[in-house]
A = this chain, B = another copy of it.
Amino acid sequence: MLKTSIEMDKAASILKLLGDKTRLTMMKILDKHDCCVCEFVEIFKTSQPSISQHLRKLRDIGLVKEERRGQWIFYSINKSNEYYPFIEQILNQLPSQDDKLKELEEQGARITCC
C-alpha cells in the first residue's frame, strides 16, 4: 500500500528542523548540489562548529548523508529517506539558492576548497 501520509510526530520534528533559516537554506542548496562543510562556512559567514552542528541535526534525523572525499566531507540530501517526498514538496516551493554557490565560484572559494 502506498504511504500517503506521515505521522504527526515525525512531521513536526522534521518541520522543526526546517524551521531554522540556516538549515532550511542548506537543505534547499543540497537538494540540487552536494556541498562540503567549508562551503557552508563561506556561504553562511558563520563558524565551522556551528555549521557542523546544524548538519549533524539534519543527519541524525536522516535528512542528509555524508561521504568523505579525501580531506573533505561532502553532504548530500538523503533521497532514499522515507520522508524525502514530504521534504521535497516543501523545498520545491522555496526560491533557488543557486546564487549563493555562484558567488562562491566567483570568489574562487568553490574551486579552491572542493
Contacts and interface: CB of A to CB of B under 8 A. Distances in A.
Interface in A4-45: 4-9, 11-21, 24-25, 28
Contact of A24 (B15, B20, B89, B94): B15
Count copies of this chain in the complex.
Answer: 2
A49 B58 CA distance: 32
A8 B94 contact: yes
Which label, helix, strand, loop or mixed, suits the secondary structure of the A interface?
A: helix
Contacts of A4: 93
Nearest to A23: B12
Contacts of A93: 4-6, 11, 85-86, 89
B6 A95 contact: yes
Contacts of A97: 8
B18 A12 contact: yes
Which 9 A-B pairs rank lowest in CB-CB distance, beginning with the nearest?
A16-B19, A15-B19, A5-B95, A12-B21, A19-B19, A15-B18, A12-B24, A15-B15, A86-B93
